[in-house]
């Protein structure tokens, strides 16, 4: 059965007074940045609570695998917790996703927000529970990279049930990556590196009929080429409805080939609409989008419109 044919589990919208747990399923986080995120969430009327091991450190991981998994499962099992917000990405979510209690997720679905390495968690929750999620900034907040418009976008995705529309902007390096057309399908994906790393695992979604979202950071053009080529050769991009291209931030090296060149070449002959220039990813002004819900990509209006992840 294709992704487009499956029923999506949409968690309840967050409301003032709701408790949200801040978890670190990937890399270690910085308390001073999380403090800013707590201030922001509190200002929205939410009650942020730190998971017991949110500030743990074990090398490049935010603590031992079993402790990171325990924090996630505690959040999913606690009826007082209404949302799960990851502090940051980094690396490590793939190491714990097989330990998630999917029965608890299905019994009491909660909105899960994050991006970057959290793509692995979002894909696992889609595989195990068909849970819609939110691809947006984590709780380790930096006002320089994620200014007011970023905060407003995350707030709208978490605390309203309105569709989300993101418009491509000429300032983004990927703006020229475009294949004309209009298509509708569930928005799946996120960080390109994590999508490619999911090939061969149970978490790699069937992208037939889907709008694929891709973004990345600090990956030179040849590595972006390699990941897209791997996805193509594996047949993962067969039957796509469209591709939404987000921010590819600091993706340059010494060769006279840009990441936009690579994206245009590797995506341009798939026979589906492609829209670049979307401010979704690791860049300044990052905006939030739901993942797992129906999206319409329209190159004529340069927009990606996505149904809410929450109900």
Catalytic center residues = 116, 215, 282
According to DSSP, the β-strands at 294-298 and 47-50 are unpaired
- Interatomic CA distance for residues 202 and 222, integer angstroms: 27
Q: Are 269 and 288 in contact (CB under 8 A)?
A: no
According to DSSP, the β-strands at 81-86 and 111-114 are parallel
Residues linked to residue 249 through DSSP beta bridges, in sequence order: 217
Q: Which of 10, 120, 20, 85 is nearest to 288 (CA)?
A: 85
Q: Are 258 and 234 in contact (CB under 8 A)?
A: no
CA 308 to chain centre: 14
Phi, psi of 5 (to 5 degrees): -95, 0
Q: Are 131 and 124 in contact (CB under 8 A)?
A: no
- Interatomic CA distance for residues 27 and 116, integer angstroms: 11
Q: Which of 181, 148, 190 is nearest to 40 (CA)?
A: 148
DSSP state at residue 9: B
Q: Which of 243, 213, 259, 51 is nearest to 138 (CA)?
A: 51
Q: Are 301 and 183 in contact (CB under 8 A)?
A: no
Burial degree of 79 (CB within 10 A; 0-12, 13-18, 19+): exposed
């Amino acid at each position: 059965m294709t992704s487009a044919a499956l029923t999506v589990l949409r968690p309840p919208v967050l409301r003032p007074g709701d408790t949200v747990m801040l978890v670190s399923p990937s890399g270690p986080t910085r308390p001073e940045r999380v403090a800013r995120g707590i201030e922001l969430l509190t200002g929205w009327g939410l009650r942020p609570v730190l998971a017991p091991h949110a500030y743990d450190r074990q090398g490049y991981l935010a603590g031992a695998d079993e402790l990171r998994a325990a924090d996630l499962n505690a959040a999913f099992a606690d009826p007082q917790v209404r949302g799960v917000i990851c502090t940051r990405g980094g690396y490590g979510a793939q190491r714990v996703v097989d330990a998630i209690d999917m029965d608890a997720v299905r019994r009491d679905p909660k909105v899960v927000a994050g991006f970057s390495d959290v793509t692995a968690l979002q894909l696992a929750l889609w595989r195990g529970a068909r849970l819609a999620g939110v691809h947006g900034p984590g709780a380790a907040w930096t006002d320089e990279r994620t200014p007011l418009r970023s905060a407003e976008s995350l707030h709208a995705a978490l605390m309203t049930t309105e569709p989300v529309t993101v418009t491509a902007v000429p300032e983004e390096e990927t703006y020229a990556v475009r294949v004309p057309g209009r298509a509708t399908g569930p928005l799946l994906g996120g960080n390109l590196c994590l999508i490619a790393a999911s090939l061969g695992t149970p978490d790699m979604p069937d992208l037939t009929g889907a709008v694929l979202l891709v973004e990345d950071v600090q990956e030179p053009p040849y590595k972006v080429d390699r990941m897209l080529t791997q996805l193509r050769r594996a047949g993962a991009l067969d039957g796509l409805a469209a591709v939404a291209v987000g921010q590819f931030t600091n993706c340059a090296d010494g060769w006279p080939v840009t990441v936009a060149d690579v994206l245009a070449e590797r995506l341009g002959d798939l026979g589906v609409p492609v829209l670049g220039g979307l401010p979704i990813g690791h860049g300044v002004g990052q905006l939030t989008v739901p993942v797992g819900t129906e999206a319409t990509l329209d190159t004529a209006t340069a927009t990606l419109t996505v149904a809410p992840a929450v109900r």
